[in-house]
């Protein structure tokens, strides 16, 4: 689908209707049973999520981030990473600077965090910062001073991956993301030396570091994979004038373009709510930045209660959570677009539009019916008002048209359609995409 930045007339009308959400949506702070700094968050779906933080803190939600409860933790060390495969199986990592041997402590649960077991990472002085599992046995971890390791036995033993001989190859790993079991990316670097992104296309048998000539000046901390060709990372530098930077590849990670976006700070994480809308937290600056055009341009906003936010996630387009210091948990509130009825002089039998089935899993069809010849335009928009696709744009005789609409490439969530006939809006409606 070709994306175009065009705000349709029915969304422009919404600016004259009071009390509806901003196009980017808003955030609200949620009361949680901890004041500890929270450092990592993981959701398995729109309802079930976990966040971890200092002093062994683990909190859990089963209602999409509205309410959170504490879970018993087997450690008092600071937890820095968490990943859940499903509602039952999850892993977390803690940093041990308290007693030798120094290194990481790994946590595992098979019952949604009701019980956790802990065991030391088998190598000293390795500090695990990110986790990703494909199933109960096979997973990856990244860490400091350098670690990119794989397990095939659920975390009991780990093997260091083979990495190319690039000068950036042995920098710390801060974040992992996988498109599938074969294609994956990792990012990290060393502050004020260079940022780095690694890629694998053979299941991790070999990882290739970014060309040093394309690397940013500072660590890459956030990572988002769109598809096999398109990948984006976030980072930045608050001290030496570079500010927030975004790095993007359109050829599967072979070549990269780095962009300083003109905002001071570091983007500590990155996630996309829809194909076009992205969010990133700026940590101690107590700000968030968002994009409504796929990451090409960005806008700052203050976080609620001047909260320092370090991690953000969207399990789907309607649910998002962000976490940070002093027990900060934010919940995303998507924009609300009220239905716009036709104007009185437009109420005739010219035509109608219906979508079947709706909600849609993979594909549906629009039934467009017009009683006389005229020019028909049918478009689909994402929740922020960005046009996703034009399905009809032609003069049509009287009759019925069945227009296919394939939503398999869309994230689950709410979208909108608009039907115009001879330049007049005749129908608008919601599209619910599920997978």
Q: 360-411: per-residue pLDDT in tens?
A: 766 788 889 888 888 888 988 877 777 788 888 888 888 889 999 888 778 8
CA 78-79-82 angle, 5° bins = 175
| Nearest to 377, CA basis, from 385, 386, 389 | 389
Instruction: Give the DSSP letter of residue 18.
Output: S
Interval 15-24 mean pLDDT: 45
For residue range 98-135, what is the model confidence (pLDDT) as tens digits? Answer: 888 899 999 999 999 999 999 999 999 999 999 999 99
pTM confidence score: 0.75
Q: How far is CA 69 from CA 49, 92, 125, 130, in A?
A: 11, 17, 32, 23
For residues 50 and 372, which has the higher predicted lDDT (pLDDT)? 50
pLDDT at 6: 32
Q: How far is CA 276 from CA 319, 382, 403, in A?
A: 16, 8, 24
Give residue 244's Cα distance to chain centre: 18
- Widest Cα–Cα separation across the chain: 82
H helix or E strand, kind and range, residue 10: helix 9-12
pLDDT at 338: 46
For residue range 294-346, what is the model confidence (pLDDT) as tens digits? Answer: 899 999 999 999 999 999 999 887 789 999 999 999 999 987 544 444 444 44
pLDDT at 435: 67
pLDDT at 361: 66
For residue range 131-183, what is the model confidence (pLDDT) as tens digits? Answer: 999 999 999 999 999 899 999 999 989 999 999 988 888 899 999 999 999 99
pLDDT at 89: 97
pLDDT level of residue 94 (50, 70, 90 thresholds): very high
Domain boundaries defined on the chain: 22-333, 344-433
With beta carbons less than 8 A apart as the criterion, state whether 222 and 289 touch.
no
For residue range 239-297, what is the model confidence (pLDDT) as tens digits? Answer: 766 799 999 999 999 999 999 999 999 999 999 987 788 999 999 999 999 998 889 99
CATH class of domain segment(s) 344-433: mainly beta
22-333: CATH architecture: 7 Propeller (2.130)
Average pLDDT, the chain: 87
């Amino acid at each position: 689908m070709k994306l175009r930045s065009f705000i349709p007339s029915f969304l422009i009308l919404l600016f004259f209707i009071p009390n509806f959400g901003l196009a980017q949506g808003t955030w609200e702070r949620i009361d949680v049973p901890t004041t500890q700094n929270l450092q990592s968050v993981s959701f398995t779906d729109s309802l079930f999520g976990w966040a971890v933080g200092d002093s062994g803190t683990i909190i859990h939600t089963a209602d999409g981030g509205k309410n959170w409860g504490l879970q018993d933790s087997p450690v008092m060390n600071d937890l820095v990473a968490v990943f859940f495969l499903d509602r039952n199986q999850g892993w977390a990592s803690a940093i041990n600077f308290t007693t030798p041997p120094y290194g990481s402590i790994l946590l595992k649960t098979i019952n949604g965090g009701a019980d956790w077991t802990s065991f030391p990472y088998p190598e000293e002085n390795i500090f695990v910062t990110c986790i990703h599992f494909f199933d109960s046995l096979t997973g990856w971890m990244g860490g400091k001073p350098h670690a990119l390791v794989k397990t095939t036995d659920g975390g009991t033993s780990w093997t260091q991956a083979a990495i190319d001989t690039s000068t950036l190859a042995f920098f710390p790993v801060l974040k992992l993301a996988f498109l599938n079991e074969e294609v994956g990316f990792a990012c990290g670097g060393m502050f004020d030396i260079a940022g780095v992104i690694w890629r694998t296309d053979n299941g991790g048998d070999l990882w290739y570091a970014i060309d040093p000539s394309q690397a940013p000046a500072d660590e890459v901390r956030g990572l988002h994979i769109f598809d096999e060709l398109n990948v984006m990372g976030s980072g930045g530098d608050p001290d030496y004038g570079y500010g927030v930077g975004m790095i993007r590849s359109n050829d599967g990670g072979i070549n990269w373009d780095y962009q300083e976006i003109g905002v001071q700070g570091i983007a500590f994480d990155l996630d996309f709510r829809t194909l076009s809308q992205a969010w990133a937290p700026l940590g101690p600056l107590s700000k968030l930045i968002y994009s409504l055009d796929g990451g090409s341009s960005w806008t700052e906003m203050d976080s609620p209660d001047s909260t320092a936010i370090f991690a953000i996630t969207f399990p789907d387009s309607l649910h998002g959570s962000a976490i940070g210091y002093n027990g900060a948990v934010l919940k995303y509130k998507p924009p609300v677009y009220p239905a716009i009825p036709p104007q009185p002089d437009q109420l005739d039998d010219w035509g109608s539009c219906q979508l079947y089935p709706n909600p849609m899993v993979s594909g549906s069809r629009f039934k467009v019916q017009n009683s006389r010849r005229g020019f028909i335009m049918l478009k689909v928009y994402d929740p922020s008002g960005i046009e996703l696709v034009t399905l009809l744009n032609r003069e049509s005789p009287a009759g019925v048209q069945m227009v296919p609409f394939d939503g398999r490439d869309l994230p689950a969530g709410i979208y909108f359609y608009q039907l115009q006939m001879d330049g007049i809006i005749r129908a608008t409606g919601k599209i619910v995409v599920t997978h």
